[in-house]
Structure 1
Amino acid sequence: MLVLDIGEVAERSGVPPSTLRYYEEIGLISSRGRHGLRRQFDADVLLKLSLVGMGKAAGFSLAEIAAVFGQDGRPELPRDQLRARASELQRQILELRMLRDVLRHVADCPAPSHLECPTFRKLMQAAPRRSLVYHPSRERKAGGGKIARRR
């Protein structure tokens, strides 16, 4: 079996060595040992890292991703959770498409006031109500909730 050192794994996967060490510490991946001071991994770690990356991109926590890997390190896919997450992503895609359409219309609309534009009004009525609810946690993630002022 092909063996890769931590630098090769980092280069091939795009995952920094510090993250690889952390993933090993929490049990997401495992090395087969060391050659000198450098950790050595079986080549199949690259596939596992791809699954971790996909899970993170889909919004799963590292703990949720770790639970997918059984005791033997093989994935035990929680199909119901994956279906639920796919449905949530589909809802987000629809909301983002609507937001994209509104922004494009606002940018290109020739009406003197958008409030007078019938297309804009239809788009605003169709906008999902959920996105209009204030979420302080979203504000903190987006920069502390402070509004920049022009001077």
Structure 2
Amino acid sequence: MIGGMTAALSIGEVAGLSGVAATTLRYYEDRGLLRPPERVGGRRRYDESVLIRLRAIEICKASGFGLDEIATLLADETPGRPASRELAAAKLADIDARMAVLAQARALIEWGLRCTCPSLEACTCGVHPPVGSPNPRIVDSVR
């Protein structure tokens, strides 16, 4: 903020501060993910709040949201829209499931690193495979 007013940023400044390319900013604007900025002398002038919105977009993308899904989530600033809530809840469940699988993969890799046997299939060193693999029948058959 500058003097109590929100600073107007050029597209280059937004790109530099956010790490999002100027071409991507224009694309997001065309897709409706970003509101069209004010133009001063024919040049885009963004409000600082665009940086928060860009961060939300990038986090959603990294979490597996498609651009259409992100547009649905960001289409209306009114919290609690049913379609947005259902989409967000489904994505949250998906993220939780992926995190559980990654935690299991991490435990399996740690087990492999701790095991000193020449073969994990014939482990005799006393280090046991992690419980709760994605397919418990496989782990049970190894024990």
TM-score using structure 1 length: 0.70
Of 78-87 and 112-121, the range deviating more from structure 2: 112-121
Aligned to 2:52: 47
Q: Which residue of 2 aligns with 1:69?
A: 74
Residue 102 of structure 2: aligned partner = 96
Aligned to 2:88: 82
Residue 9 (structure 2) pairs with residue 4 (structure 1):
yes
Is the CA contact 2:108–2:129 (under 8 Å) kept in the aligned structure 1? no
Query: Structure 1: which 4+ aligned runs deviate by more than 2 Å?
Result: 73-77, 118-123
> Which AA in structure 2 matches 1:102?
L
The alpha-carbon deviation at position 50 of structure 1 amounts to: 1.7
Per-residue CA deviation, residues 63-84 of structure 1 (Å, 9 max, x unaligned), is 11112233xx636552232222
* Structure 1 range deviating more: 113-122 or 23-32: 113-122
Q: Calculate percent identity across the aligned residue pairs.
A: 33
Q: Give the counterpart letter for 2:62 in structure 1.
A: A
Which runs of 5 or more structure 1 residues have no equivalent in the other structure? Answer: 133-151
Give the equivalent residue in structure 2 for 1:58.
63
Tell me, in whole angstroms, the C-alpha distance in 2 between the residues paired with 1:63 and 1:23.
11
- 95, 102, 109: which one aligns with 2:115: 109
Look up the SS of the partner of 1:51 in the other structure. Answer: helix
Equivalent position amino acid for 1:111 in 2: C
What are the ranges of 5 or more consecutive residues in structure 2 without an aligned counterpart?
1-5, 139-143
How many residue pairs end up in the alignment?
A: 126
CA positional deviation for 1:10: 0.8
